[in-house]
Amino acid sequence: MARTIHLALHPYGVGGPGQHGLWKDPRVAKNASIDINYYIAQAQAAEHALFDALFIVDSQFINATYPAHYLNRLEPLTLLSAVATHTRHIGLVGTASSTYNSPFNLARRFASLDHISGGRAGWNVVTSFDTGTSRNFGLDEHLDYTARYGRALEFVQVARGLWDSYEDDAFPADVTRGVFLDSAKLHELNHEGEHFRIAGPLNLSRSPQGQPVIFQAGVSEEGRDLAARVAEGIYAPGGSLQQARDYYADIKKRTASYGRDPEHIKIFIHGGPVVGRTDEAARLREREIFEEDNDFERNLALLGRSFGAYDFSVHDLDGPFPDVAHLAEKGGRTGAARLIERARSEHLTLRQVADSVGEFRRSPFVGAPRTVADTIEEWFDAGTFDGINLAFRTDEDLELFVDGVVPILQKRGLFRTEYEADTLRGNLGLPVPANRHTVRAGA
């Protein structure tokens, strides 16, 4: 089969990081982030356009400086379970922390979503870099990088073990023989590791796709390594074409080093396309969007997230960037280290660093429909992604992309004209994982 592009939709609601002014747009309902009908409509529009998945982000800590969408939003698995009953094909990917959940409970919840949706669930594994989250779970301190990623790896391994509790044919439900369960095909896990002791078994059978699809967003060395070991989908950092190409090659190489087929890990870059009647109109709108969202106080608060929600406003804005490197180890270490290095090498003030967080960066996917399609094709052919995780400010923006860009990609044979399967795995071209107990039995 020819290699084709995968598309996912990431709803903004009333605006997350970098979209601080979105909630003011008269086309955006002020309760969008807590309105299930908004998400259902978004999912149905994406499904009509044959997208692979709806992607829901999450975090479990806020303060008053956080973006509007973060302040008031629905819990992902509850949200996606509702969306599942109003869709048939589109995958449903929810974010959940491996640091602040228990494996048995979360494995059961994702397996339930997988059954409710008929095999369309995906789990975006995050380790939580908001250090304040620890206080919402009765802990004094947030785990450091090494502990968080060690826990994440073991968490995924445990979840997969629990999802294999029942072999596929464990339930004959034979009324004549009076046998509902073949007990030989129910397996306890009895896991004892560094972070977890889990007996099992899970009280839920496997879904049509075997197990939910594992997604991850690996940027740091630990994150990339975790992704290469366990992920089947990755939300990549993007950047320039060369940066995206280098990341893509690195992840595929690491995946192969663990004995996995690189084709069985799909890398999605972030894309916020701006489609207009002409290239000039689209570029003008892109600049307008930046001006709508540019807010220094919000950018200063956003800067603090990488350092454990640190309040930079207590410092002299025109003085040297503060020495806060020690706060990054339990926060967003990779992004924080990049900011610290730039501030040091360029002798930037705190104000200049905060401005750099919100500085105008041109997106490659802006222009008339053909221009956007050309750029997507160029990046795809250059080996920078397997798919794009798309975000649109309004319903009209989504429609412009679907009506203008998607048909061009389809005409070029780069995007599907119908769904290949009823499951997320099937549409992503991922294999159904064999149950480990069936494999051991030689079946």
User: Residues 248-271: pLDDT tens digits?
Assistant: 999 999 999 999 999 999 999 999
pLDDT of residue 255: 96
pLDDT of residue 307: 80
Give yes or no for residue 330 having a pLDDT over 60. Answer: no
C-alpha closest to that of 371 among 275, 298, 302: 275
3-state SS of the chain is: CCCCCEEEECCCCCCCCCCCCHHHCCCCCCCHHHCHHHHHHHHHHHHHCCCCEEEECCCCCCCCCCCHHHHCCCCHHHHHHHHHCCCCCCEEEEEEECCCCCHHHHHHHHHHHHHHCCCCEEEEEECCCCHHHHHHHCCCCCCCHHHHHHHHHHHHHHHHHHHCCECCCCCCCECCCCECCCHHHECCCCEECCCCEECCCCCCCCCCCCCCEEEECCCCHHHHHHHHHHCCEEEECCCCHHHHHHHHHHHHHHHHHCCCCHHHCEEEEEECCEECCCHHHHHHHHHHHHHHHCCHHHHHHHHHHCCCCCCHHHCCCCCECCCCHHHHCCCCHHHHHHHHHHHHHHCCEHHHHHHHHCCCCCCCCEECHHHHHHHHHHHHHCCCCCEEEECCCCHHHHHHHHHHCHHHHHHCCCCCCCCCCCCHHHHHCCCCCCCHHHHHCCC
How confident is residue 443, by pLDDT bands cut at 50, 70 and 90?
low
How confident is residue 1, by pLDDT bands cut at 50, 70 and 90?
low
Please tell me which residue, 294 or 269, carries the higher pLDDT value.
269
Mean pLDDT for the stretch of residues 273-277: 96
How confident is residue 327, by pLDDT bands cut at 50, 70 and 90?
confident
pTM score:
0.93
pLDDT of residue 331: 58
Taking only the tens place, the pLDDT of each residue in 135-173 is 888 887 878 778 889 999 999 999 999 999 999 999 999
Indicate the average pLDDT of the chain. Answer: 93
Query: CA triplet 302, 56, 219: central angle to 5 degrees?
Result: 55
How confident is residue 329, by pLDDT bands cut at 50, 70 and 90?
low
pLDDT of residue 304: 81
pLDDT of residue 359: 80
pLDDT of residue 414: 98
Give yes or no for residue 441 having a pLDDT over 80. Answer: no
Taking only the tens place, the pLDDT of each residue in 178-192 is 999 999 999 999 999
Q: Which two tokens stand for residue 358?
A: 């919100």
In 57-157, DSSP assigns E strands to 91-97, 121-126
How confident is residue 26, by pLDDT bands cut at 50, 70 and 90?
very high
Structural domains in the chain, CATH included, are 6-279+363-440 (3.20.20.30), 295-357 (no CATH)
pLDDT of residue 437: 94
pLDDT of residue 355: 87
Most confident of 13-22, 184-193, 305-314: 184-193
% of the chain residues with pLDDT over 90 = 74
Give yes or no for residue 333 having a pLDDT over 70. Answer: no
Find out whether 8 and 54 touch, Cβ atoms under 8 Å.
yes
Taking only the tens place, the pLDDT of each residue in 349-390 is 999 988 887 788 889 999 999 999 999 999 999 999 999 999
% of the chain residues with pLDDT over 70 = 98
Mean pLDDT for the stretch of residues 389-406: 96
C-alpha closest to that of 352 among 291, 293, 296: 296
pLDDT of residue 32: 97
Mean pLDDT for the stretch of residues 400-409: 98
Give yes or no for residue 343 having a pLDDT over 90. Answer: no
Find out whether 219 and 149 touch, Cβ atoms under 8 Å.
no
Give yes or no for residue 406 having a pLDDT over 80. Answer: yes
pLDDT of residue 130: 75
Mean pLDDT for the stretch of residues 421-443: 91
Find out whether 94 and 82 touch, Cβ atoms under 8 Å.
no
